[in-house]
């Protein structure tokens, strides 16, 4: 199994945009990641970048609303993530420049011990959602690599939050109907007031699901333009007849 992190703190549960109660991971948690370049903690650190008050998408007046199928395409790569991780990804997508900067920072500091790395990330001038995603380097790296998709996702969530969450639910329903979304040793999947909830079996251990976002939902869907899916990294195990690995 490919487990990206162990939580050092419990999640704080609260309502999410009035559509689904999900866990928001507000504190950094340690994780293991190899193959990154270490940054000597004794070396002087570069000055922190100063961000404008709002590193976010443009106001709604400059935004053309997306239709249901476009939104379905947009959320397909993340709809089967656990609710807490979906929350962080959606919020982080509204800070595209910080995603790029955090991913570059990870390449320099990834060799630090987990506790030091988490503390260093927590001191950066980023949104809490960005800091949280440094505990999921594969997720952060994917968002940085697919900049156009990330920017579109952030714009959609900023301007159409309810529609985005409806699309997440629609894609979960499709995956469930296709037999690719059901409870596993890693996650509970259950209905709650008409919604499909995905949450860890063990709140202190989060697995990142890996799946082909264009085929896991049954009938193939057209990929979001320019989105690069490179397949799962080494160590991911697919089993149980599902199109999802961990």
pLDDT score of 61: 63
CA gap 69, 6 in Å, rounded: 35
Kindly list the distances between the CA atom of residue 47 and the CA atoms of 2, 9, 119, 195, in Å, as whole numbers in the listed order: 35, 29, 17, 45
**pLDDT category of residue 29 using cuts at 50, 70 and 90:** very low
Q: What is the pTM of this model?
A: 0.77
**pLDDT category of residue 93 using cuts at 50, 70 and 90:** very high
191 sits in the region (left: phi over 0; alpha: psi -120 to 50; else beta) called beta
150 in Cβ contact with 99 (< 8 Å) = yes
95 in Cβ contact with 127 (< 8 Å) = yes
| Digit-coded pLDDT (tens) for 127-140 | 999 999 999 999 99
**pLDDT category of residue 4 using cuts at 50, 70 and 90:** very low
pLDDT score of 234: 73
CA gap 148, 66 in Å, rounded: 15
DSSP 172-205: HHHHHHTT-----SSEEEEEETTEEEEEESSTTE
pLDDT score of 156: 97
Exposure of 35 by Cβ count < 10 A (0-12 exposed, 13-18 middle, 19+ buried)?
exposed
**Pairwise pLDDT comparison (121 vs 232), residue with the higher score:** 121
């Amino acid at each position: 199994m490919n487990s990206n992190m162990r939580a050092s703190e419990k999640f704080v549960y609260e309502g999410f945009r009035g559509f689904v109660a999900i866990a928001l991971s507000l504190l950094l948690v340690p994780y293991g990641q190899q193959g990154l370049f270490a940054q000597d903690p004794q070396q002087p650190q570069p000055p922190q970048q100063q961000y404008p008050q709002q590193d976010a998408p443009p106001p709604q007046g400059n935004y053309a609303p997306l239709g249901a199928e476009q939104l379905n395409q947009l959320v397909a790569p993340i709809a089967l993530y656990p609710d807490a991780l979906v929350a962080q990804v959606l919020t982080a997508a509204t800070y595209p420049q910080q995603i790029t900067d955090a991913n570059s920072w990870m390449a320099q500091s990834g060799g630090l011990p987990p506790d030091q790395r988490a503390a260093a990330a927590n001191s950066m001038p980023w949104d809490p959602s960005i800091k949280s995603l440094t505990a999921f380097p594969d997720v952060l790296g994917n968002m940085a690599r697919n900049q156009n998709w990330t920017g579109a996702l952030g714009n959609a969530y900023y301007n159409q939050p309810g529609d985005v969450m409806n699309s997440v639910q629609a894609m979960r329903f499709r995956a469930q109907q296709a037999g690719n979304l059901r409870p596993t040793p890693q996650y509970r999947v259950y209905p709650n007031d008409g919604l499909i909830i995905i949450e860890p079996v063990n709140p202190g251990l989060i697995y990142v699901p890996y799946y082909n976002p264009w085929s896991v939902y049954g009938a193939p869907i057209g990929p979001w333009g320019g989105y690069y899916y490179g397949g799962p990294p080494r160590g991911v195990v697919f089993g149980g007849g599902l199109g999802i690995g961990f």
